[in-house]
Amino acid sequence: MKRRDFLTAASGVAGGTAAGAATAGAQETTTSAGDTTTASGNETMTTTANGTAEGTQSGGGAAGGGPTQEVTVGPGGDLVFEPAELTIAPGTTVRWVWDSDNHNVVRSSQPEGADWDGTEGGDSETYNTGHEYSHTFTVEGTYEYYCTPHRSAGMVGSITVQEGGGGGGGGGAAAEQDPEHMGVPIQAHFVGIATILMIIVSLVYTFFVVKYGESPHTEGGN
Max avg pLDDT among 51-60, 111-120, 183-192: 111-120
| pLDDT number for residue 62 | 46
Burial profile 72-89: b = 16 or more Cβ within 10 angstroms, e = fewer: bbbeeeebbbbbebbbbb
Catalytic residue numbers?
103, 147, 150, 155
Rounded Cα gap, residues 83 and 169, in angstroms: 6
Rounded Cα gap, residues 186 and 23, in angstroms: 32
Percent of the chain with pLDDT over 70: 54
Please provide the DSSP assignment of 8-75 as one string: HHHHHHHHHHHHHHHHTTEEEEE-TTS-EEEEETTEEEEE-TTS-EEEPEE-SSPP-SS-EEEEEESG
Q: How many CB atoms lie within 10 A of CB 56?
A: 16
pLDDT above 70 for 151: yes
pLDDT above 70 for 27: no
Strand partners, 171: none
Q: Are 172 and 165 in contact (CB under 8 A)?
A: yes
| pLDDT number for residue 5 | 53
Strand partners, 144: 109, 158
Rounded Cα gap, residues 197 and 177, in angstroms: 28
Dihedral angle over CA of 44, 159, 77, 106, nearest 10: -80
Question: Distance between terminal CA atoms of the chain?
Answer: 72
Instruction: Tell me the pLDDT tens digit for each residue of 64-112.
Output: 568 999 999 999 999 999 999 999 999 999 999 999 999 999 999 999 9
Strands 43-47 and 53-55: antiparallel
| 212: helix, strand or coil | helix
Instruction: Tell me the pLDDT tens digit for each residue of 101-126.
Output: 999 999 999 999 999 988 866 677 89
8-state DSSP, 153: T
pLDDT above 60 for 28: no
97 residue type, one letter: V
> Taking the complete model, does pTM exceed 0.85, yes or no?
no
